[in-house]
Structure 1
Amino acid sequence: MSTHHNHSHAPVPVKVFTDDIDEAAARQLQNVAALPFVHHHVAAMPDVHWGLGATIGPVIPTVGAIVPAAVGVDIGCGMNALRLSLRADQLPDNLAGLRAQIERDVPVGFAGHPDGRWCEAGLGRVAAGLKRIQAKYPVIDARWQSQLGSLGGGNHFIELCLDESDRVWIMLHSGSRGIGNRIGQFFIEQARREMERLDIRLPDRDLAYLAEGSALFDDYVEAVDWAQHYALENRRQMVRLILAALRHQVAQGRLPDFSVTDEAIECHHNYVAHEHHYGRDVLLTRKGAIRARKGDLGIIPGSMGARSYIVRGKGDPESFCSCAHGAGRRMSRAEAKRRFNRADLAAQTEGVECRKDKGVIDEIPGAYKDIDTVMANQTALVDVVHTLKQVVTVKG
């Protein structure tokens, strides 16, 4: 495909699965829809909201080009969930010890493992693919070895939840950590330089793209694929550490022995995949959306004071077989810090063993959309399999 596009064509339609969308997000979606390589239409999930670089919540099918900022910088960010044989009445009355054990065993925030090679098997599964990219682009470097099996900060979390039958679940949300951020930032900047070099004017500089057939396009697709594998391995290693933390509590006599059931779910919600939709093979970008093909199991978390859902996809074609990835923010982090205080946080997370200090006020439930409204807006996309309520939340 030529690297030159005609930018005067009519935009494709935008299908939005909610009425709750602000003007800034709607404008971002229209700008995406105006790109000449977008195929058929753009879909926006019920949790859609304005995002830095590109909207959070769109599903974008492209042919012949890709927009790095539409993928974002937390490449491969997603969720894991698994059910344990434990029941609610087997948990200790005071859950502070469980939270403290997980926080000791899983690095959170900017922290990583002191020994960068703590997990040889996990590192071996992801190491090889990065060497060629880093040899070509030395700037793409980060503490990815020590960060494998670490949570990060922001909206990333680890939770212990109870389902509708009072069974205990582990649920976690994290991505590709610092290395995914480096890859994303680097190629976003490279795409902007390409637009300048080719004198291509865009409605938003963050929609700078890389055209198929270019070396940058191939390198980006390879780097994104690596980061997605790294993010998945990162979550799997955290699951391993969380289970070890719980087994430590068993050894201390604070929990009965337990096993993992066969319900283990993994899903990305910031990623790119080769898929076929509306008669074309496309690169499908989901930024804040999960795949929901017919029968697919997925995880849709609320905020840290709200319910979360295990869902089964219905394979809706208008959504490109997708659904929302969570509640979605209602306000910026800065606005949340202005509007709420520690007392508000304590009230809104009552009954949840979690941080209640000023460092996580920007994650207060009131800063997020109502998860039940989001779910009501996507009954055509998914069926609810389990409803989860967190009792322990760990945040960086």
Structure 2
Amino acid sequence: MRPVWQALTSHRLNGSLVISLRAYPRGTMTKRTDPRLERLGEAWTTLPNPYDIPVEICAGPDVPIEPAALDELLTVLDTQRTLDSLAGDGVRPRIERVVCTPDFHKGAGIPIGTVLQTSGALVPQAVGNDINCGMRVEATSLTVEQVRPRLDELERRLRHVFFEGGRHIGLTPAHREGLLRAGLPGLLAEGPLGHAVRDADRLHAGAFPAGSAEEFRDWVTSGGGTSYDSIIGGVGGGNHFAELQYVAAVHDGPTAYAWGLAPGRIVTMVHSGSLSLGHQAGATGRDLARKAWPAGLPLPDNGILPIPLSEKTEKLRHRYLTSFANAANFAIGNRYFLSLMMRTGLTAAVGELDVRLVYDAPHNLLWPGGSGSPWVKGDGPDDVVLHRKGATPAGLSADGWGEPVIVPGSMGAPSYLLRGLGNERALTSACHGAGRSVPRGAASRGSDAELDEFLREFRVVTPLNHRDPAVAARRDIIAAWRRDLKQEAPWAYKEVRPVVESLRIAAVAEPVVELRPLLTVKG
């Protein structure tokens, strides 16, 4: 069934057409609030459930909540029945609380935008396969006036760097193992790469210590000596991207100044994760959860397999957390290299520039103790584990400005940087984007006319150059390319402004700057 397409706004800013669109499956446009939800205020709703687990969703009335996501969340809550069956050996595991962020939408078993706090158990599937998927934002010394006239050249340079053999990321086995075991410091300790890690205090975590990298020995030793692989420096698929943006509006001047942001300043934003290494670590977690499963106990109907925090599972948990740490470290390094690639393209097209890291923020991680980093005990009890899937930390920070919260809009739409307020009601968590409003399958059947209008006004750099006459003549290739692009087009996502407003009203995070895109690199 084809979706209904609704244009919300269309206006010009500094010569660029900004289009905000939304798509709804037919029959769903007239009802925004699911009757299963109870509104608690302007920015919060609650979801009653058979297990009396506190479940709150941070979303104002203008943020649509997908009924299918609520169905999925209720199925996730059935995990409490599973945890009850695993009680014993001094462990009584429980789901303590669930908070969902404004970009809450259906996932593959567990909704995106779910923050799950448990006691006595960890749930690998509540983090997902793309471990430490996250975002990195760097502020440059360039201005939009310097870059806009060079966009044609920049598009050509970035396509070469990202997709036509221009990465030149040569790593030795020692580099690879150093990265997987000790993050960015481990990578750079194994020999010069021609780059330095600056602003290390602007990383939520620069490393997740791991005792070994045996789960990924094949990747570590690939190529023997210095070699170039197709994984490191990959953007990834789905909603991952590397984007060139500029500061279009400042909402909090002092914080913006502290972060090195000013009107017209060019910034780069990358969104990527652990790619195939994360999928391998996720599979390891599921396999180990099955091994830890009590003999004779039926597997849960919802397919979610928690691992009790008991002595019996200690060795299995250690193996999982080691591979988890390896994948998380890879993701930090991958975002670092993606940012370097954006700098390379900018330098070649525009000229030399300085950069400053604004923040590198994770999405899919777990935090024993309820806070801190996954391998540093937090302030909570030893048996408490906080899981975030498609959600980002929004805590306070030592410098007093608040932890930077990166909320991108859909492709072509504004993005926002906010400062976290450490709201415990939200489990100090915020959304990692606007969130889908239409499943990928439905979005791919969207309007060709809308896509054509979007592509006339916005630059999308992909492996396929649709402007190349030889490529344009291949209708089958172009049709597949357009179908993939529609899945991530603006109309497939919620409007970002009500999402950000929900965070503000709920006292989760305060807007600092609004960023507008100039071009997006998609894998």
Shift of 1:167: 1.1
Determine helix, strand or coil for the equivalent of 1:147: coil
Where does residue 57 of structure 2 map in the other structure?
A: 16
> Are residue 70 (structure 1) and residue 114 (structure 2) matched?
no
The one of 394, 406, 421 aligned to 1:299:
406
Check whether the contact 1:117–1:123 (CA below 8 A) recurs between aligned residues. no
Shift of 1:291: 0.2
Shift of 1:139: 12
Determine helix, strand or coil for the equivalent of 1:377: helix
Letter in 2 for 1:208: L
Check whether the contact 2:101–2:391 (CA below 8 A) recurs between aligned residues. yes
Please give the residue correspondences for 1:193-232 in structure 2 after superposition, counting only pairs within 5 Å.
194-195=292-293, 197-205=295-303, 207-212=304-309, 213=311, 214=313, 215-232=315-332
Which deviates more from structure 2 when the two are superposed, residues 71-80 or residues 280-289?
280-289
Shift of 1:227: 1.0
Shift of 1:96: 2.8
Where does residue 382 of structure 1 map in the other structure?
A: 509
Check whether the contact 1:38–1:60 (CA below 8 A) recurs between aligned residues. no
> Are residue 271 (structure 1) and residue 365 (structure 2) matched?
yes
**TM-score of the pair, normalised by structure 2:** 0.66
Shift of 1:366: 0.4
Where does residue 171 of structure 2 map in the other structure?
A: 117
Q: Which runs of 5+ in 2 are unaligned?
A: 1-49, 84-92, 183-209, 249-262, 372-378, 397-401, 467-480
Q: Which runs of 5+ in 1 are unaligned?
A: 1-8, 250-254
Where does residue 131 of structure 1 map in the other structure?
A: 213
Letter in 2 for 1:28: E
**TM-score of the pair, normalised by structure 1:** 0.85
Percent identity, aligned pairs only?
30
1:10/1:127 Cα in 2 relative to 1: closer, same or farther (>3 Å)?
Answer: closer
Shift of 1:280: 3.2
Where does residue 339 of structure 1 map in the other structure?
A: 446
Check whether the contact 2:177–2:213 (CA below 8 A) recurs between aligned residues. no
Shift of 1:32: 3.1
Please give the residue correspondences for 1:342-353 in structure 2 after superposition, counting only pairs within 5 Å.
343-348=449-454, 351-353=457-459
Q: Deviations over 1:254-311 (max 9, x none)?
A: x243211x45210011111224379534221110100000210121111112110111
Shift of 1:183: 1.6
Shift of 1:118: 7.0
Determine helix, strand or coil for the equivalent of 2:132: coil
> Are residue 91 (structure 1) and residue 147 (structure 2) matched?
yes
Q: 1:354 and 1:142 mapped to 2: Cα distance? A: 32
The one of 72, 82, 85 aligned to 1:28:
72
> Are residue 285 (structure 1) and residue 412 (structure 2) matched?
no
1:66/1:112 Cα in 2 relative to 1: closer, same or farther (>3 Å)?
Answer: farther
Letter in 1 for 2:320: Y
Shift of 1:382: 0.5
Shift of 1:122: 6.3
The one of 323, 327, 333 aligned to 2:434:
327
> Are residue 55 (structure 1) and residue 111 (structure 2) matched?
yes
Determine helix, strand or coil for the equivalent of 2:433: coil
Shift of 1:174: 0.4
Check whether the contact 1:12–1:40 (CA below 8 A) recurs between aligned residues. yes
Q: Deviations over 1:35-92 (max 9, x none)?
A: 2434431000011011012110010112222222221111110000011111111114
Where does residue 182 of structure 1 map in the other structure?
A: 280
Check whether the contact 2:460–2:520 (CA below 8 A) recurs between aligned residues. yes
Determine helix, strand or coil for the equivalent of 1:286: strand
Letter in 2 for 1:363: E
> Are residue 241 (structure 1) and residue 336 (structure 2) matched?
no
1:161/1:50 Cα in 2 relative to 1: closer, same or farther (>3 Å)?
Answer: same
Where does residue 521 of structure 2 map in the other structure?
A: 394
Check whether the contact 1:140–1:186 (CA below 8 A) recurs between aligned residues. no
Letter in 2 for 1:226: N
Q: Deviations over 1:325-345 (max 9, x none)?
A: 00111121111111233x322
Check whether the contact 2:97–2:118 (CA below 8 A) recurs between aligned residues. no
Name the larger-Rg structure.
Answer: 2
Check whether the contact 1:140–1:182 (CA below 8 A) recurs between aligned residues. no
Determine helix, strand or coil for the equivalent of 1:244: helix
Determine helix, strand or coil for the equivalent of 1:265: strand
Where does residue 43 of structure 1 map in the other structure?
A: 99
Where does residue 152 of structure 1 map in the other structure?
A: 236
Check whether the contact 1:192–1:209 (CA below 8 A) recurs between aligned residues. no
The one of 330, 340, 353 aligned to 1:258:
353
The one of 305, 315, 321 aligned to 2:422:
315
Shift of 1:202: 2.7
Letter in 1 for 2:235: L
Check whether the contact 1:310–1:384 (CA below 8 A) recurs between aligned residues. yes
Q: 1:328 and 1:104 mapped to 2: Cα distance? A: 30
Where does residue 160 of structure 2 map in the other structure?
A: 104
Q: 2:71 and 2:98 mapped to 1: Cα distance? A: 13
1:233/1:367 Cα in 2 relative to 1: closer, same or farther (>3 Å)?
Answer: same
Where does residue 4 of structure 1 map in the other structure?
A: none
Determine helix, strand or coil for the equivalent of 2:519: strand
Determine helix, strand or coil for the equivalent of 2:289: helix
Letter in 1 for 2:348: H
Letter in 2 for 1:21: I
Where does residue 365 of structure 1 map in the other structure?
A: 490
1:292/1:324 Cα in 2 relative to 1: closer, same or farther (>3 Å)?
Answer: same
1:386/1:275 Cα in 2 relative to 1: closer, same or farther (>3 Å)?
Answer: farther
Check whether the contact 2:414–2:517 (CA below 8 A) recurs between aligned residues. yes
1:115/1:43 Cα in 2 relative to 1: closer, same or farther (>3 Å)?
Answer: closer
Which deviates more from structure 2 when the two are superposed, residues 351-360 or residues 146-155?
351-360
1:259/1:49 Cα in 2 relative to 1: closer, same or farther (>3 Å)?
Answer: same
Q: Deviations over 1:113-161 (max 9, x none)?
A: 68763797566332574533357xx899999964122212221111100
Determine helix, strand or coil for the equivalent of 2:435: coil
